[in-house]
Amino acid sequence: MNITEKILARASDCERLAPDDVKFVNVDKVMIHDVSGPGVIKVFDKLKKQGINVDKLWDPSKVWVAEDHFVPSAELISAENIVKLSNFTKNYGIDKHFKYGMGQYGICHTISHEEAMVLPGEVYVGGDSHTNTTGALGSFACGLGHTDIAYVLLNGKIWFKVPETILFKLNGKLPEHVMAKDFILKIIGDIGTDGGAYKTMQFEGTGIDEMSVEERLTLTNMTTEAGAKTGIIEPDQKIVDYLAARGAKDFSLVKGDHDAEFAKIFEYEASELEPIVAKPYSPENICVVREAPSVSLDKAYIGSCTGAKLEDLKAVAKILKGKKVKIRTEVLPAAISIYKKALEQGFIKIFLDAGATVGPPTCGACCGAHMGVLAQGEICISTTNRNFPGRMGHVESQTYLASPLVTAASAITGKITDPRDLN
C-alpha cells in the first residue's frame, strides 16, 4: 500500500485497502473557520429541527478553530459571525480557538503546521478546500463542506472513497530562482485543473528531499487547484524536526510500502524548471515568466496560505531590499508567528522601506473577501492560489499567479518580471 492507503486502512480498522474501496474513516483532527464554522452552526440548527441531538461533539479536544477569512471584520455580518464562532467554541468546550487580536492566529492552513495541530499519519479534515496543504506533514488532509464537517463533529468519522495516487517525482534541487510555486504551477499546467480530480497527488524525489518544509507545503496546498482529494509527502527527519520545534512529539511516521502502487508517475528534472505564471482565468493557464504578456500591473499581493509563509516573505525581502515598488504592494503574513519572525529578521522593515503596505494575517483579498479586493479592470500579480473570474474582486479584474520571487520582482518593475532579469 502507498502512504494514503496505509493511513486510511489504519483509520478504518482494515488490514488492506485499495483504490475505490469506500469506508467510513475515523478522523483524528477537525478544523473549522469563520466561514465553515457559521455554516456548520446552520447545519446544527437544521438538525435540531429534525430532532437530531447536537448537544455534544464527539471529541472537542480534536477540534480546532481559526479566524481567517473575514478578520478584521469590515462590516456587521462578519463581526457577528466571529461572535457566533466564539459562542460555539465556548458552548461545546473547544479550547483550541486561535482568535484575531489575541496572540497567535492566522490562516487555518498555516496554523495547522505553525502550531503542529496535525501530526504525521493522522486523518485530518477541514472545512476549507486548501486543507490538502497539511498533507506535506505526512497526514491524510482533506477539505470538506459544512454538512460533512458537522457529521464529523458529531460522529468522529466520515466516508471516503480510497483515491488512486498519482506520483510526481522531482529529480534534483530546484534552481535558486525557481520556487515550489513554479513547480506546482507547471504541474497544474501539465495535468489541468481536473488532472488530479478525486486522487491523491504525492510528491517525492531528491528535489523534495532537498526542499524545506514550508516549500513542500506550497506544493500540497495547490493540489487543490488540480482537483485532488489530497496532496501528500512521506514524512522525513525535516518534518520531525519542524514539528519538534513546535512542541509536537510522540508521533510515528507512516510511509508507503516498497511495492506501493501508483496510477501514474510523472517525472520532472529540477534543472529544467523555470519561473512560471498562471494567467487569468485559470491556474492551468500557465506560461514561463519570460514569455508572459507585457501587461501594466496595478498591484502586487503577497499573502495567503500559499504564499505568505516565512520563506515566502524571505524571498520577497531578498528582492525588495533597497528597492522601491512601482505599483501598490501589499504583504499580509499568514500568521502572527510568521509576522513576528519576519519582524525579527528585518523583512518587515525592508517591505515598508520599499513602499509596500504590511497588513494583518487574513485570507483577505485572496478570496475576494476584503482588505484590498480588485476593481473592474485592475490587474494583480499574486502569490495566492486561484485566479478564476472574480476570485479577488470584480469579475473583470485579472490575477496572475506567481511565486513570491516573481511577484516581488514584478512589484519593482510594474510588469511581469523574471527575478533573473532585474538589474
Partner 1 sequence: MVIKYERDNIDTDVILPGTYLKIHDYDELATHAMEGIDPEFHSKVKEGDFIVAGKNFGCGSSREHAPIALSHSGVKAVLALSFARIFYRNSVDGAFLLPIEIDEDTYKNIENGDELEIIIEKNEITNLTKNQTYRIKPFSEIISKIILAGGLFKFKP
Phi then psi dihedrals of residue 53, to 5 deg = -75, 120
C-alpha cell, 150: 458537522
CA distance 69 to 85: 13
Cell of 249: 512529539
Q: Which is nearer to partner 1, 177 or 386 (CB)?
A: 386
Residue 114 C-beta: closest distance to partner 1, Å: 21
Nearer to partner 1, 228 or 412 (CB): 228
| 302 versus 367: smaller Cβ distance to partner 1 | 367
Choose between 108 and 116: whose C-beta lies nearer to partner 1. Answer: 108
Go through the chain and tell me how many residues it has.
Answer: 423
CB 399 within 8 A of CB 380: yes
Record the cell numbers describing residue 145, joined without a space.
463542506
Query: Closest separation between CB of residue 283 and partner 1, Å?
Result: 10
Q: Tell the smallest beta-carbon distance from residue 7 to partner 1 (Å).
A: 18
Provide the minimum distance between the beta carbon of 31 and partner 1 in the complex, in angstroms, as a whole number.
12
Compute the distance between CA of residue 174 and CA of residue 172 in angstroms, rounded to an integer. Answer: 7
Hey, what's the cell of 177? 530562482
Residue among 354 and 365 whose Cβ is closer to partner 1 = 365
Q: Give the residue among 215, 242, 400 at the shortest CA–CA distance from 315.
A: 215
Which residues fall within 8 angstroms of residue 253, CB to CB, at 6 or more apart? 120, 121, 138, 234, 235, 236, 239, 240
CB of 171 to partner 1, least distance (A): 30
Q: Please tell me the distance from the alpha carbon of residue 113 to that of residue 210, in angstroms, as a whole number.
A: 19
Measured from the CB atom, the residue of 343 and 395 that comes closer to partner 1 is 395
Binding site for partner 1 (CB under 8 A): 22, 24, 35-36, 38-39, 41-43, 47, 50, 52, 69-70, 77-78, 81, 127-129, 131, 143-148, 151, 159, 161, 193-194, 197-198, 227, 229, 282, 367-370, 373, 386, 388-391, 395
- Least separation in angstroms between residue 13's CB and partner 1 is 14
